Amino acid sequence: MRLDGSQTILLSGFGGGLTWGTLILTI
């Protein structure tokens, strides 16, 4: 499976959103 730039940005953005969502829920 090949990742191009937009997919990489999308995945990193999704991962970051998950991380922030978890932090906000934890606080």
3-state secondary structure 1-27: CCCCHHHHHHHHHHHHHHHHHHHHHHC
pLDDT in tens, 5-18: 777 777 788 888 88
Residue 26 corresponds to which tokens in the numbers above? 């934890």
Taking the mean position of all CA atoms in its chain, how far away is CA 14? 2
pLDDT class for 3, splitting at 50, 70, 90? low
pTM of the model: 0.39
Q: Residue 1: pLDDT above 60? A: no
Tokens at residue 13, please? 């953005």
